[in-house]
């Protein structure tokens, strides 16, 4: 017996005859005589080590060796070798056969270190299973340790490092269970079935596990439950005829009857142990806080909650999951962690829930909970918001009433002053001229109507908006005022001419004016105070009419600008050559200025970035922006050139610089002049409608307002940088 260094599996070959093997070959043991004899294994390779002997339902003998599979049918003398490494996806370890498992009526299974093989009684073929994705699911590990074949076509496969797999031989689908499903180890050594309870019992690298096939739940047993060891041997298991389950391990054997093992596995009991608020610990056993309801101030919003689950069977493997309702979006599976940390929680109502599972994966679904209220600061309470609302509403009301009263008073005073001044002038002319006053009475009524419309226009201008319809309605009476003032001027000139003629006819004695009291023979113009007075009144009327015509013309220009402003840009944005558009309309503005009455010499400096391509613009609208800004720059530099005081730099030469440049995601256009600049106190107002710094009838105050609206409509932005008496830069930013 000195050569027996290793003994393979024991198999009952026939009644009273036990087959076993070692490094020397296959042996038979007669249990009656206890005689050990060598069994003839003709056909085996010399380097084949027999690990398993198996006799199938047809009486064929099979040998599983480290060098392949050997077969000997009834009546044959020698074994025939089957090289499993030649089958699909095989290699040398596919010939390392560890076990045979009979599948009654169908065949048997061959377990190897690289692949699961099946032998069919009906076809006599050996096929590899669970390796080809095109034929069905595959096993993640092909190192097969153990197998149990159910009568319903389901095969339970235990793998080295691959967990437990349920293989449906009909559909070729596989469902694998791992440690995430509470399997104690990924190495399954042996599988036995408890048919009465429909359970699988498995020995593993870390204890014994019971698997409920119906509920798919694992219950695990360790040395704390009475096992002799945690590590069990592969292929070492037995179910006796009287229902005793036996597993061999590193420290002997473990045997039991499944019916004697309790099936229940109670979950852990849960408790809160500590609450940390801003890193200050408050154990729940000191009575400071009630674990059911916690109320905190707004600045106590960084909390840490400690909890535990009490279970006396392997408590170190209890697992936890928690959620903070109204904050977390779902349960957090934190494994063995026993602390929940929440920093900087916003004020609100929360419910903290935690549940635990024992080492068998049985959860305490009810768990425990804690209500947490974090109060807001006083300035974020509902009373504070009500106070804010009242203060805001009061401020708005006071400002609105004040503005309304101021505007109404101002407009009334302005209208009253204008009406009184015009009424006095008309009344004086009426008393002095008599019948001439009647001829001008209608004009006075029309002027009052126009004046009322202008007052309304100024009121609307204070709000910053006028519609195109109102502008059209104002324009018709303005035309009448201007035309009638021109006709009245002609009438005044005709009246003056009549007086001159009367003065000349006085010497011939046939003039109607000769009846004027006080007239002398020497000439009316020179000798009659009444004629001189009439001429003086006519001169005053002419002056008034010219003022009326002058301001009527300015109002007409304002209406035209209002119409242009109200129309805005409605064209379609199209890719436009920005540099070309700038060149064209800068030149147009320059030549227009040079052709005017008050032209000046200006140096034009075009600094255009040639890398700029086409920019999406409404070109007909954007051209007005270029013209408006250039014309304003010309006007500003003209005003500085015309100054005679010391504020004008010596050797001053007007200069207009236009720059374009490319920046990430945008295009920039700058228009810079070296004029007098814009005072800080009006810089924020110049974009408002009807605001102008130009004197007299020059300007309507709508140019920069139109420019601002066009740039905004293009999706851009406009800004102003200015230094008084040095320069002004208008910067337009457009998206690419």
Q: What does the pLDDT look like over 166-176, one tens digit per residue? A: 999 989 999 99
- For residue 717, which of 702, 703, 707 has the smallest C-alpha distance? 707
175-192 average pLDDT score? 91
Q: Residue 428 pLDDT more than 90?
A: no
Quote the Cα angle for 28-31-36, to 5°: 35
pLDDT (0 to 100) of residue 291: 67
Burial grade of 290 (CB within 10 A; 0-12, 13-18, 19 or more): exposed
pLDDT (0 to 100) of residue 286: 58
pLDDT band of residue 479 (cuts 50, 70, 90) is low
Angle in degrees, 0-180, between the axes of helices 703-713 and 529-567, rounded to the nearest 10: 10
Q: Residue 458 pLDDT more than 90?
A: no
Q: Residue 507 pLDDT more than 80?
A: no
> Which regions of 580-665 does DSSP assign to beta strands (E)?
603-608, 614-617, 655-663
398-421 average pLDDT score? 90
Q: Residue 69 pLDDT more than 90?
A: yes
Neighbour tally for 307: CB within 10 Å:
24
Asked if 662 contacts 716 with a C-beta cutoff of 8 angstroms, the reply is no
Q: Residue 116 pLDDT more than 70?
A: yes
pLDDT (0 to 100) of residue 15: 86
pLDDT band of residue 646 (cuts 50, 70, 90) is low
Q: How far apart are CA 460 and CA 411, in angstroms?
A: 11
pLDDT band of residue 673 (cuts 50, 70, 90) is very high
pLDDT (0 to 100) of residue 324: 93
User: Is residue 37 helix, strand or coil?
Assistant: strand
pTM score, whole prediction: 0.43
pLDDT (0 to 100) of residue 264: 64
- For residue 191, what are the CA distances in angstroms to 38, 178, 187, 253, 504? 31, 15, 12, 15, 145
pLDDT (0 to 100) of residue 111: 93
415-429 average pLDDT score? 84
Q: Which residues pair with 177 in a beta bridge?
A: 164
Q: Residue 84 pLDDT more than 50?
A: yes
Q: Residue 526 pLDDT more than 50?
A: no
Q: Which residues contact 184 (CB under 8 A, 6 or more apart)?
A: 204, 206, 207, 209, 218, 220, 222
> Which regions of 571-638 does DSSP assign to beta strands (E)?
574-577, 603-608, 614-617
Percent of the chain's residues with pLDDT above 70: 81
Q: How far apart are CA 357 and CA 273, in angstroms?
A: 18
Percent of the chain's residues with pLDDT above 90: 27
Retrieve residue 175's tokens: 């469902």
Asked if 389 contacts 396 with a C-beta cutoff of 8 angstroms, the reply is no
pLDDT (0 to 100) of residue 155: 94
pLDDT (0 to 100) of residue 464: 40
Residue-level length of the chain: 736
Q: Residue 27 pLDDT more than 70?
A: yes
Lowest-pLDDT choice from 12-16, 469-473, 671-675: 469-473
pLDDT band of residue 263 (cuts 50, 70, 90) is low
Asked if 9 contacts 25 with a C-beta cutoff of 8 angstroms, the reply is no
pLDDT (0 to 100) of residue 564: 52
User: Is residue 263 helix, strand or coil?
Assistant: coil
Q: How far apart are CA 192 and CA 237, in angstroms?
A: 8
273-296 average pLDDT score? 78
Q: How far apart are CA 343 and CA 277, in angstroms?
A: 10
pLDDT band of residue 515 (cuts 50, 70, 90) is very low
Lowest-pLDDT choice from 452-456, 505-509, 669-673: 452-456
User: Is residue 689 helix, strand or coil?
Assistant: coil
pLDDT band of residue 593 (cuts 50, 70, 90) is confident
Neighbour tally for 727: CB within 10 Å:
16
pLDDT (0 to 100) of residue 175: 94
pLDDT (0 to 100) of residue 701: 65
Mean pLDDT over all residues of the chain?
81
446-450 average pLDDT score? 53
Better pLDDT: 376 or 459: 376
pLDDT band of residue 105 (cuts 50, 70, 90) is confident
Lowest-pLDDT choice from 209-218, 236-245, 569-578: 569-578
306-315 average pLDDT score? 74
Better pLDDT: 433 or 238: 238
Q: Residue 284 pLDDT more than 80?
A: no
557-579 average pLDDT score? 65
pLDDT digits (tens, 9 = 90+) for 356-406: 887 667 788 888 899 999 999 988 888 888 998 999 999 999 999 999 999
Q: Residue 290 pLDDT more than 70?
A: no
pLDDT band of residue 262 (cuts 50, 70, 90) is low
Q: Residue 241 pLDDT more than 90?
A: no
């Amino acid at each position: 017996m000195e050569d027996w260094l290793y003994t393979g599996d024991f198999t009952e070959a026939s009644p009273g005859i036990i087959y076993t093997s070692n490094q020397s070959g296959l042996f038979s043991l007669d249990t009656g005589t206890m005689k050990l004899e060598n069994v003839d294994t003709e056909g085996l390779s010399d380097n084949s080590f027999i690990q398993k002997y198996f006799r199938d339902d047809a009486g064929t003998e099979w040998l599983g060796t480290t060098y392949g599979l050997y077969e000997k049918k009834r009546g044959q003398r020698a074994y025939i070798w089957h090289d499993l490494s030649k089958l699909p996806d095989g290699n040398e370890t596919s010939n390392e056969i560890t076990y045979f498992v009979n599948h009654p009526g169908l065949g048997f299974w061959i377990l190897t270190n690289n692949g699961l093989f099946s032998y069919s009684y009906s076809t006599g073929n050996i096929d590899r299973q669970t390796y080809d994705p095109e034929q069905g699911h595959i096993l993640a590990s092909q190192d097969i340790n153990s197998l149990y074949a159910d009568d319903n076509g389901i095969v339970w496969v235990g793998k080295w490092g691959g967990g437990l797999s349920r293989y449906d031989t009909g559909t070729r689908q596989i469902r694998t269970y791992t440690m995430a499903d509470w399997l104690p180890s990924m190495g399954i050594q042996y599988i036995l079935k408890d048919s009465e309870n429909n359970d699988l019992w498995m020995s593993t690298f870390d204890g014994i596990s019971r698997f409920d096939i119906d509920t798919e739940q694992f219950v695990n047993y360790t040395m704390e439950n009475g096992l002799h060891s945690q590590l069990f041997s592969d292929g070492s298991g037995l179910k006796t005829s009287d229902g005793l389950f036996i597993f061999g391990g590193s420290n002997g054997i473990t045997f039991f009857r499944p019916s004697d093992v309790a099936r229940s596995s109670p979950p852990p009991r849960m408790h809160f142990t500590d609450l940390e608020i801003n890193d200050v610990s408050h154990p729940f056993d000191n009575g400071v806080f009630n674990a059911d309801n916690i109320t905190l101030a707004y600045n106590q919003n960084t909390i840490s909650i400690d909890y535990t689950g009490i279970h006396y069977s392997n408590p170190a493997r209890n697992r936890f999951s928690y959620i903070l309702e109204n904050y977390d979006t779902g349960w957090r599976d934190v494994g063995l962690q026993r602390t929940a940390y929440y920093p900087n929680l916003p004020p609100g109502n929360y419910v903290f829930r935690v549940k635990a599972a024992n080492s068998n994966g049985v959860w305490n679904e009810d768990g425990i909970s804690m209500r947490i209220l974090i109060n807001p600061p006083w300035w974020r309470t509902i009373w504070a918001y009500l106070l804010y609302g009242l203060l805001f509403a009061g401020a708005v009301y006071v400002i609105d009433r004040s503005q309304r009263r101021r505007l109404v008073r101002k407009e009334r005073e302005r209208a009253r002053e204008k009406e009184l001044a015009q009424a006095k002038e008309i009344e004086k002319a009426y008393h002095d001229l008599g019948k001439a006053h009647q001829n001008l009475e209608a004009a006075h009524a029309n002027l009052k109507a126009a004046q009322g419309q202008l007052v309304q226009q100024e009121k609307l201008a204070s709000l910053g908006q006028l519609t195109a319809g109102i502008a059209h309605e104002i324009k018709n009476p303005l035309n009448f005022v201007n035309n009638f003032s021109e006709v009245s001027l002609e009438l005044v000139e005709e009246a003056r001419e009549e007086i001159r003629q009367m003065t000349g006819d006085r010497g011939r004695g046939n003039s109607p004016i000769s009846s004027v009291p006080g007239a002398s023979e020497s000439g009316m113009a020179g000798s009659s105070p009444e004629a001189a007075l009439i001429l003086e009144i006519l001169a005053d009327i002419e002056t008034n009419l010219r003022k009326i015509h002058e301001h009527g013309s300015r109002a007409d220009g304002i209406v035209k600008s209002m119409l242009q402003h109200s129309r805005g840009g409605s064209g379609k944005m199209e890719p436009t050559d920005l540099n070309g558009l700038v060149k064209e309309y800068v030149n147009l503005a320059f030549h227009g200025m040079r052709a005017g009455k008050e032209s000046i010499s200006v140096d034009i400096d075009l600094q255009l970035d040639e890398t700029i391509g086409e920019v999406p613009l409404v070109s007909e609208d954007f051209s007005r922006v270029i013209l408006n800004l250039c014309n304003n720059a010309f006007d500003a530099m003209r005003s500085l050139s015309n100054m005679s005081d010391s504020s004008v730099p010596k050797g001053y030469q007007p200069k207009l610089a236009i720059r374009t440049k490319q920046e990430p995601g945008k295009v920039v256009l700058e228009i810079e002049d070296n004029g007098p600049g814009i005072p800080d106190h009006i810089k924020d107002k110049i974009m408002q409608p009807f605001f102008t710094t130009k004197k007299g009838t020059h300007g309507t105050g709508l140019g920069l307002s139109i420019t601002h609206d066009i740039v905004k409509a293009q999706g851009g932005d406009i800004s102003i940088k200015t230094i008084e008496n040095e320069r002004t830069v208008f910067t337009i930013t457009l998206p690419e």
